[in-house]
Every structure is written in C-alpha cells, then in structure tokens.
Homo-oligomer: A and B are copies of this chain.
Amino acid sequence: MRLAVLGAGAVGGAVAELADEYGHEVVALADSSTAAVDDDGVDAAAALQAKAADAGLGTAAPEDALAADYDVLVEATPTTLGDAQPGFDHVASALERDRDVVLANKGPVAERYADVRALAADSAGSVQFEATVAGAIPVLSTLSDLGPSRVDAVRGVLNGTANFVLSRMAAEGLGYEHVLAEAQDLGVAEADPAFDVEGTDAALKCVILSNRLAEAETESVAELRAATTSLAEAEIQGITDLPPNALELAADDGQTVRLIGEATRDSVRVGPRLVPENGTLAVSGTRNIVELETAHAGRLAISGRGAGGDATATAVLSDVNRL
C-alpha cells in the first residue's frame, strides 16, 4: 500500500519508519508546515532527521501530501476537539477521492463519528481507527471480531499518565503533586497535564468505544447520529482531587484506586474507582488495560502499551494490513 502520513510526531514518525517492514511504501509525510512527497517513496529517516534539524521534512507544502498519489491516508495529527479540524477535513479529502483512511487522531471519530460515517457511506474508501484507543491494544479489532452487538460494555485503564501517577502514589505512599512532578521529569506527564489527569483523554477513548457499540444497533447514519454519545454528555471525574487518604483506606481493604473509563452503548463514565489490588484492572505504571464484557465469552481483558510512537504505530499498520 502507498501511504500518505499526516503528522510527523511520535506516532506519524514511527509509522513512516516502520511502514517498509510491514510491506508498505510512504509516498508523503507531512507536518503542519512542510512535507516530503515522492511517488517513488519518501526516505522517512532522512525526512525526520531534517525535521529534527529544523530544516523541515522536505521541500513540499503540507497540502501537497494530501494531493499525493496514495492508497491510504494515515491521519496522525494532534487530536483536536469540537469540529476536530484540520483532521476532519483530511479524512473528508481522502474519502472524497475514494481512498482508505487510518486514524491515530481521536478527534474525528470521537467528536464527529456520524459525519465520518456519512462520508464513508458515499465513498469506496473505509475508515479504520484502532490506534485511537489504547495504543497497541487491539480493542477495536477484537470488538469487530466478537461483533459489537455481542459486547455490552468496555471498561479499563485508558490513560497511562493518570495510571502512572495513581499506581506510584499507591505503591510508594507519595502525594499527588510529588508524583506528578516526577512524572513530568520522566516525560510521562505533559507540562500541562490537565488533558490526562482530568480524565478528558480517557473519556474521548470511551466516547469512541461507545460510538462503536451504539453503531451495531443502528441501520442508518441518521440513527447513528441520534445514538452517539458526545464528550459533553460524558460523566468525567479526574484524579486531581482524590482525598489524600483514599489510597491508604483502599489498601487496608485489599483494594486500590484506578482511573477507570467505562463505555456502554449509551453512556460514558470516567472516574477514580476502587478495584481489587490483585485484580485484572489494577495494572501499574503507564500500562493500559481494556476489559470487554461479552455475551458468550465472559470478560476478555487485553493489556499493553497504551501510548508511545512505536506501539501506537503498530496499531496503525495493523489497520493498514487489514484493508
């Protein structure tokens, strides 16, 4: 497959570098200001090196990447909320050309799922988005294999930053501010950690899961539009105002606290929850876990790296391979 990769950060860069190993060719690689475009294949390592040296990815403009002769558009620009731009327009541009789209950007499928499906319904191209939920964890393909109508709920630890902070607070008896500062030093938390520790990121992933579950019960884009849950409708509580002794009290009872996101067909909830200390959901560090509540196979849980360039790129490239 010939790939146009939009976004040259950790995920887009890793997709471009690993594509060859998966048997694909990158014909365009763009960030928000420059692009490398070559019908005979972009040298991704060289382009990324040039970008790192502030020379730009290449001599082309970002819009040239969208116009390139690709089979699959990989949308790995930063997630934006609301109208999900410019990611949404990138998706639209590819579908209008009957090309396939693989998303790492959560915006279009979290905030405008019905709009994306409406465009896909009129296109020969399809939209895949495994990488938008829990990085390397194949939750969406497992959901498709099980059949979304046979899954009642999906829950789990969907934000590595929040989980690092909580699991370290629990293991070391340290305070929130202390562990957050440590996480920032380690590069596990952003300078502005609000998106992660307030639960927004986990909620976006749950909105995507909820949309996918709801879709199984709808037969038209209009029905889907009515059935989707938006971020605004989600019940979200972060970990910033956890009572200081909550972890201690939990431990006395063989439990611990994790930021758990839960998606059903018609609801999204994210908040700190008590979970058994040795239970399935009590993963440590930046690890994520997703548990699917199935109709015929009980609970199925998948844990792994929920973020990181290479890990997330494997989800993107698995989507490409499934096309």
Q: How far is the CB of A136 from chain B (nearest CB, A)?
A: 4
B146 touches A142 (CB 8 A): no
A146 touches B314 (CB 8 A): yes
B136 touches A318 (CB 8 A): no
A142 touches B136 (CB 8 A): no
Asked if A147 CB lies within 8 Å of chain B CBs, one says yes
The residue of chain B having its C-beta at the shortest distance from the C-beta of A142 within the complex is: B138
Q: How far is the CB of A132 from chain B (nearest CB, A)?
A: 16
A136 touches B297 (CB 8 A): yes
A301 touches B304 (CB 8 A): yes
B318 touches A146 (CB 8 A): yes
Q: How far is the CB of A295 from chain B (nearest CB, A)?
A: 9
Interface centre among A141, A145, A277, A321 (most CB of B within 10 A): A145
Contact with B along A271-311 (1 / 0, CB 8 A): 00000011010100000000000101111111111000011
The count of identical subunits is: 2
Q: How far is the CB of A155 from chain B (nearest CB, A)?
A: 14
A138 touches B145 (CB 8 A): yes
Q: How far is the CB of A38 from chain B (nearest CB, A)?
A: 24
Q: How far is the CB of A201 from chain B (nearest CB, A)?
A: 19
**Given A141-B145, A322-B145, CB of A136 within 8 Å of CB of B314:** no
A302: chain B residues at CB < 8 Å are: 300-303
Q: How far is the CB of A35 from chain B (nearest CB, A)?
A: 25
Q: How far is the CB of A140 from chain B (nearest CB, A)?
A: 11
Taking A277-B278, A296-B314, A301-B304 as known contacts, 16 extra A-B pairs with beta carbons closer than 8 A to each other, sorted by chain A number, are A22-B147, A135-B297, A137-B300, A138-B145, A142-B142, A145-B318, A146-B318, A278-B282, A296-B313, A297-B304, A297-B305, A297-B310, A298-B304, A298-B305, A298-B311, A303-B303
* Shortest beta-carbon contacts, A-B, top 9: A136-B297, A300-B304, A297-B311, A145-B318, A296-B310, A297-B314, A301-B303, A298-B305, A302-B302
